Structure 1
């Protein structure tokens, strides 16, 4: 039996926003390193926005956006 982890979207977004709000500045080097991930996150938020406005975002739209984020995360 697999364990399902349910995470509330509100909790995730609010936590990320709070952490970002605590930053004072991002220098160019850091911004360049974060560029691909920032773009993937932005695209995911566009899917969220589209869903909020139209209700037409599909599960596949979300899956593609989240997969792009996963690909953009640094490999440990």
Structure 2
């Protein structure tokens, strides 16, 4: 995760533990809502490895829209 030019490494037990947002067990909704509540208005990125990039991008955008813009769906 990158925030204000600082890097925080989030350890994983193995390479395979890095999942796309909609497959993991992290409460991404709460995390993103907290960022919004404190006024975060920056850029977010999704690092994808070992996946079909185009399919992951489409599904990730839809997933994030449900979290960030539920009234637009």
TM-score, reference length from structure 1: 0.30
* More strand by percentage: 2
* More helix by percentage: 1
Highest Rg: 1 or 2?
1
